Structure 1
Amino acid sequence: MGLVFFEKVLFSALGKELGELTEIMKELIEPYGFLACRTTWLDHQEVCQILGVSKRSLQSHKDKGLLPCTKLNRKNYFKLSDVQLLLEQNRKTKKNKDYGTAD
Protein backbone atom coordinates (compact mmCIF):
# COMPACT_ATOMS: atom_id res chain seq x y z
CA MET A 1 0.00 0.00 0.00
CA GLY A 2 1.50 3.32 -1.00
CA LEU A 3 1.28 6.71 0.58
CA VAL A 4 -0.35 9.65 -1.16
CA PHE A 5 0.51 13.17 -0.12
CA PHE A 6 -1.78 16.17 -0.58
CA GLU A 7 -1.14 19.79 0.10
CA LYS A 8 -3.16 21.02 3.07
CA VAL A 9 -5.08 23.48 0.87
CA LEU A 10 -5.99 20.77 -1.65
CA PHE A 11 -7.05 18.39 1.12
CA SER A 12 -9.26 21.08 2.68
CA ALA A 13 -10.83 21.88 -0.71
CA LEU A 14 -11.52 18.18 -1.29
CA GLY A 15 -13.18 17.90 2.11
CA LYS A 16 -15.36 20.94 1.36
CA GLU A 17 -16.40 19.50 -2.02
CA LEU A 18 -17.32 16.17 -0.42
CA GLY A 19 -19.37 17.98 2.22
CA GLU A 20 -21.27 19.89 -0.46
CA LEU A 21 -21.86 16.71 -2.44
CA THR A 22 -23.19 15.01 0.68
CA GLU A 23 -25.66 17.84 1.25
CA ILE A 24 -26.85 17.71 -2.37
CA MET A 25 -27.39 13.93 -2.10
CA LYS A 26 -29.36 14.37 1.13
CA GLU A 27 -31.62 16.93 -0.57
CA LEU A 28 -32.21 14.61 -3.52
CA ILE A 29 -32.95 11.56 -1.37
CA GLU A 30 -35.07 13.27 1.29
CA PRO A 31 -38.40 13.23 -0.63
CA TYR A 32 -38.06 9.47 -1.16
CA GLY A 33 -36.76 8.51 2.26
CA PHE A 34 -40.16 7.31 3.45
CA LEU A 35 -40.22 4.75 0.64
CA ALA A 36 -36.96 3.16 1.72
CA CYS A 37 -38.26 2.77 5.27
CA ARG A 38 -41.49 1.07 4.27
CA THR A 39 -40.41 -1.19 1.44
CA THR A 40 -38.59 -4.47 1.85
CA TRP A 41 -37.21 -5.88 -1.40
CA LEU A 42 -36.65 -9.59 -2.05
CA ASP A 43 -34.69 -11.33 -4.79
CA HIS A 44 -36.08 -14.29 -6.78
CA GLN A 45 -34.53 -16.90 -4.49
CA GLU A 46 -36.16 -15.44 -1.38
CA VAL A 47 -39.53 -15.18 -3.13
CA CYS A 48 -39.31 -18.78 -4.35
CA GLN A 49 -38.66 -19.92 -0.77
CA ILE A 50 -41.54 -17.88 0.64
CA LEU A 51 -44.03 -19.02 -2.01
CA GLY A 52 -42.69 -22.56 -2.18
CA VAL A 53 -42.37 -22.45 -5.97
CA SER A 54 -39.66 -23.04 -8.56
CA LYS A 55 -37.88 -20.28 -10.48
CA ARG A 56 -39.95 -21.21 -13.54
CA SER A 57 -43.23 -20.89 -11.62
CA LEU A 58 -42.11 -17.51 -10.30
CA GLN A 59 -41.35 -16.43 -13.87
CA SER A 60 -44.81 -17.58 -14.89
CA HIS A 61 -46.42 -15.53 -12.08
CA LYS A 62 -44.39 -12.54 -13.22
CA ASP A 63 -45.34 -13.01 -16.89
CA LYS A 64 -49.05 -13.28 -16.02
CA GLY A 65 -48.85 -10.07 -14.01
CA LEU A 66 -49.66 -11.81 -10.75
CA LEU A 67 -46.46 -10.60 -9.11
CA PRO A 68 -44.93 -7.30 -10.21
CA CYS A 69 -41.20 -6.78 -9.97
CA THR A 70 -38.58 -4.11 -10.42
CA LYS A 71 -35.48 -4.75 -12.49
CA LEU A 72 -32.19 -3.31 -11.27
CA ASN A 73 -28.86 -4.18 -12.89
CA ARG A 74 -30.42 -7.09 -14.80
CA LYS A 75 -31.79 -8.59 -11.57
CA ASN A 76 -35.46 -8.72 -10.54
CA TYR A 77 -36.57 -7.58 -7.11
CA PHE A 78 -40.00 -8.07 -5.58
CA LYS A 79 -41.73 -6.08 -2.86
CA LEU A 80 -42.43 -8.12 0.26
CA SER A 81 -45.89 -6.52 0.41
CA ASP A 82 -46.68 -7.80 -3.12
CA VAL A 83 -45.56 -11.32 -2.18
CA GLN A 84 -47.70 -11.21 0.97
CA LEU A 85 -50.69 -9.99 -1.07
CA LEU A 86 -50.27 -12.88 -3.53
CA LEU A 87 -50.10 -15.35 -0.65
CA GLU A 88 -53.26 -13.90 0.88
CA GLN A 89 -55.12 -14.03 -2.46
CA ASN A 90 -54.09 -17.66 -2.94
CA ARG A 91 -55.17 -18.48 0.60
CA LYS A 92 -58.63 -16.95 -0.01
CA THR A 93 -58.99 -18.71 -3.37
CA LYS A 94 -58.04 -22.07 -1.85
CA LYS A 95 -60.39 -21.55 1.08
CA ASN A 96 -63.29 -20.72 -1.27
CA LYS A 97 -62.57 -23.80 -3.40
CA ASP A 98 -62.47 -25.98 -0.28
CA TYR A 99 -65.89 -24.68 0.81
CA GLY A 100 -67.38 -24.51 -2.67
CA THR A 101 -68.06 -20.77 -2.52
CA ALA A 102 -67.23 -18.02 -5.00
CA ASP A 103 -65.19 -14.85 -4.28
Structure 2
Amino acid sequence: MARIAFHLEIQDGKRDDYREWHDRVPEELERAYLDSDAGLETYSVFEKDGHVFGFMELEDPEAIKEVQAESEAQADWDEIMGDILEESDDSWMDEVYRMV
Protein backbone atom coordinates (compact mmCIF):
# COMPACT_ATOMS: atom_id res chain seq x y z
CA MET A 1 0.00 0.00 0.00
CA ALA A 2 1.42 3.37 -1.04
CA ARG A 3 0.94 6.55 0.96
CA ILE A 4 1.01 9.92 -0.72
CA ALA A 5 0.39 13.42 0.56
CA PHE A 6 0.11 16.95 -0.72
CA HIS A 7 0.18 20.50 0.62
CA LEU A 8 -1.76 23.46 -0.76
CA GLU A 9 -2.42 27.00 0.40
CA ILE A 10 -5.73 28.83 0.32
CA GLN A 11 -5.83 32.39 -1.00
CA ASP A 12 -6.40 35.09 1.61
CA GLY A 13 -10.08 35.51 2.34
CA LYS A 14 -11.10 32.24 0.63
CA ARG A 15 -10.97 29.84 3.59
CA ASP A 16 -14.74 29.76 4.11
CA ASP A 17 -15.27 29.10 0.39
CA TYR A 18 -12.80 26.22 0.53
CA ARG A 19 -14.53 24.61 3.49
CA GLU A 20 -18.00 25.12 2.01
CA TRP A 21 -17.01 23.42 -1.25
CA HIS A 22 -15.66 20.46 0.72
CA ASP A 23 -19.04 20.10 2.43
CA ARG A 24 -20.43 19.28 -1.02
CA VAL A 25 -17.74 17.53 -3.05
CA PRO A 26 -19.42 16.40 -6.28
CA GLU A 27 -20.34 12.74 -6.38
CA GLU A 28 -18.84 12.53 -9.90
CA LEU A 29 -15.45 13.47 -8.49
CA GLU A 30 -15.64 10.93 -5.69
CA ARG A 31 -16.77 8.29 -8.19
CA ALA A 32 -13.83 9.07 -10.52
CA TYR A 33 -11.42 8.37 -7.66
CA LEU A 34 -13.20 5.30 -6.34
CA ASP A 35 -13.77 3.73 -9.78
CA SER A 36 -10.15 4.19 -10.85
CA ASP A 37 -7.56 1.42 -10.87
CA ALA A 38 -5.73 3.19 -8.04
CA GLY A 39 -7.14 0.98 -5.28
CA LEU A 40 -7.92 4.01 -3.12
CA GLU A 41 -8.36 2.97 0.52
CA THR A 42 -8.17 6.30 2.35
CA TYR A 43 -8.36 9.91 1.23
CA SER A 44 -8.42 12.65 3.86
CA VAL A 45 -8.02 16.41 3.58
CA PHE A 46 -7.10 18.59 6.56
CA GLU A 47 -7.05 22.39 6.78
CA LYS A 48 -5.72 24.88 9.31
CA ASP A 49 -5.04 28.58 8.93
CA GLY A 50 -5.20 28.38 5.13
CA HIS A 51 -2.88 25.39 4.83
CA VAL A 52 -4.30 22.22 3.31
CA PHE A 53 -2.80 18.78 3.82
CA GLY A 54 -4.14 15.81 1.87
CA PHE A 55 -3.32 12.17 2.51
CA MET A 56 -4.09 9.03 0.50
CA GLU A 57 -3.45 5.34 0.97
CA LEU A 58 -3.77 3.47 -2.30
CA GLU A 59 -2.37 0.70 -4.40
CA ASP A 60 -1.26 2.72 -7.43
CA PRO A 61 -0.30 6.41 -7.07
CA GLU A 62 0.23 6.74 -10.82
CA ALA A 63 -3.37 5.66 -11.47
CA ILE A 64 -4.74 8.38 -9.20
CA LYS A 65 -2.52 10.96 -10.87
CA GLU A 66 -3.96 9.75 -14.19
CA VAL A 67 -7.49 10.40 -12.88
CA GLN A 68 -6.42 13.86 -11.78
CA ALA A 69 -4.99 14.60 -15.22
CA GLU A 70 -7.77 13.10 -17.35
CA SER A 71 -11.06 13.16 -15.43
CA GLU A 72 -13.67 15.72 -16.49
CA ALA A 73 -14.95 15.77 -12.90
CA GLN A 74 -11.43 16.63 -11.71
CA ALA A 75 -11.12 19.35 -14.36
CA ASP A 76 -14.40 20.89 -13.14
CA TRP A 77 -13.16 20.74 -9.52
CA ASP A 78 -9.81 22.25 -10.47
CA GLU A 79 -11.63 25.17 -12.11
CA ILE A 80 -13.53 25.85 -8.88
CA MET A 81 -10.44 25.43 -6.71
CA GLY A 82 -8.42 27.64 -9.08
CA ASP A 83 -10.31 30.64 -7.71
CA ILE A 84 -9.68 29.54 -4.12
CA LEU A 85 -6.19 28.00 -3.92
CA GLU A 86 -2.80 29.59 -4.47
CA GLU A 87 -1.07 28.42 -7.63
CA SER A 88 1.28 25.51 -7.09
CA ASP A 89 3.55 23.75 -9.57
CA ASP A 90 4.08 20.68 -7.44
CA SER A 91 2.15 20.08 -4.25
CA TRP A 92 3.07 16.39 -3.78
CA MET A 93 5.13 15.72 -0.67
CA ASP A 94 7.83 13.12 0.00
CA GLU A 95 7.34 10.78 2.94
CA VAL A 96 10.37 11.18 5.18
CA TYR A 97 9.36 9.06 8.17
CA ARG A 98 6.88 6.31 9.04
CA MET A 99 6.66 4.69 12.46
CA VAL A 100 4.34 1.80 11.59
TM-score (norm 2): 0.28
More RCO (CA 8 Å, sep 6+): 2
- Greater radius of gyration (CA): 1
Q: Which has the higher strand share?
A: 2
The alignment's TM-score, normalised by the length of structure 1, stands at 0.28
More helix by share: 1
